[in-house]
A and B are shown apart, each in its own frame.
Chain A
């Protein structure tokens, strides 16, 4: 049976992981390569790297680091951040990314999804959406969640999947950072309208939040989180054991 995926997400700036990660045995807590190796050994099913660099110089460092990660870690790697064109897809895919996540770039130019899906296949195009409740509906936010686009999130996701997005990462701004659990109503609304895998993001604070996620919404394919993994609040091996105990299929 297909397993539910657990995905740690790392923010990278100028080729270094932002906010050092506190694990014993790491000699360099800001090294994307060391962290990728650590997570791979500890049960991560894939990893997401977000490049939050603004400068061209930093971009170059990111691709160098990505190349090194991809030559040492053999699980799927998704890369996002600053993906605005097919050239950007090309740049990260050549360095070993398996999937490319688009967010603001697709909002500015929705056809980017179609073009990328035609060139690299749907499986390569991950739509990442930051959404929040505004007047009772879910709205899409751009620029790292700072700008309300006014677009309806469920409709945007449905359209984007039609254009060729092969996977959706839904990050709820409302639950992000609150650590009280994933945004189940928002995830349900999205899972009802798309048939591609949906990855839940934003809000996980403890192991039970993942158990609840997969029990309440069996069609959700994966759970993504950052700080709770990085700061050791949730260890992935413990998380997976608990999921298994609750009859949720995981790779152990």
Chain B
């Protein structure tokens, strides 16, 4: 049983629909007991890091997610949900993340060539950096849909895919049972669905 963590942030409709399209019925829930009962968890998120982090903290779900991940339960963060897996973010200040994967979230501004628009919006190519269960159906050069202005800086050992936007940027990460995609698999057509499928098959 897969559960999408609902903490009042983000468009969960598409995520649930895309899972349905691959035959997975994943309800969303903000109930700690339901989250603890689930076999696998997806942490979505859009908007600003600070607000999403605060929403997780005020509902107490941050502790639940940390504990469940600590027990070895497969957890996948998507977009801002992925960013929250790290130690901290520098979006509009400095905020602590969930600390499940070492690294921090830094702005594109000042780090990418000036002629590239920010946010990084659109379809970009994946470059696979190491074999991983999440990307078992994915090939080098497959396109996925990104929308973000900040990205993760993390040791290479956790990076399973990158993308080129002026600099080589973290696109997907994995540390043991915790994984994440900076892009939106639920908006990345067949390639995205195959990544969701791989997560469901973990």
* Residues of A near any B CB (own CB < 8 A): 1-5, 40, 45-46, 67, 70-72, 74-76, 93-98, 118-124, 166-167, 195-198, 218-219, 221-222, 251
Q: Any chain A CB within 8 A of the CB of B188? A: yes
Q: Any chain A CB within 8 A of the CB of B167? A: no
- Cα A122 to Cα B48 in complex, Å, equals 9
- Which residues of the other chain, B, contact A75 by a CB distance below 8 angstroms? 145, 187-189
Question: Can you spell out 7 A-B residue pairs with CB atoms less than 8 angstroms apart?
Answer: A45-B122, A70-B14, A70-B17, A124-B47, A166-B119, A167-B119, A198-B117
Q: Any chain A CB within 8 A of the CB of B149? A: yes
- Cα A59 to Cα B73 in complex, Å, equals 42
- Cα A119 to Cα B118 in complex, Å, equals 19
Contact of B147 with A123 in the complex, beta carbons under 8 Å:
yes
B contact residues, range? 35 or more
Contact of B149 with A45 in the complex, beta carbons under 8 Å:
no
Q: Of B115, B143, B189, which one neighbours A3 at CB under 8 angstroms?
A: B143
How far, in Å, is B118 (CB) from chain A's closest CB? 6
Q: Of B47, B116, B122, which one neighbours A222 at CB under 8 angstroms?
A: B122
Dominant SS at the A interface? Answer: loop
- Which residues of the other chain, A, contact B11 by a CB distance below 8 angstroms? 93, 96-98
Q: Of B123, B125, B188, which one neighbours A74 at CB under 8 angstroms?
A: B188
- Which residues of the other chain, A, contact B149 by a CB distance below 8 angstroms? 122-123
Among B147, B186, B192, which residue has the most Cβ atoms of chain A within 10 A? B147
Given A98-B187, A123-B121, also A74-B18 (CB < 8 A): yes
- Which residues of the other chain, A, contact B119 by a CB distance below 8 angstroms? 122-123, 166-167, 196-197
Contact of B193 with A1 in the complex, beta carbons under 8 Å:
no
Contact of A74 with B122 in the complex, beta carbons under 8 Å:
no
Contact of B17 with A221 in the complex, beta carbons under 8 Å:
no
Q: Of B48, B120, B148, B193, which one neighbours A2 at CB under 8 angstroms?
A: B120
Given A75-B187, A95-B13, A121-B48, also A45-B121 (CB < 8 A): no
Contact of A96 with B117 in the complex, beta carbons under 8 Å:
no
Given contacts A1-B164, A71-B17, A94-B13, 18 further A-B contacts (CB under 8 A): A2-B116, A2-B122, A2-B165, A4-B122, A5-B123, A70-B13, A74-B186, A74-B187, A98-B11, A122-B119, A124-B47, A196-B119, A197-B117, A197-B122, A198-B117, A218-B115, A219-B115, A219-B117
Q: Any chain A CB within 8 A of the CB of B46? A: yes
- Cα A2 to Cα B148 in complex, Å, equals 13
- Cα A97 to Cα B120 in complex, Å, equals 19
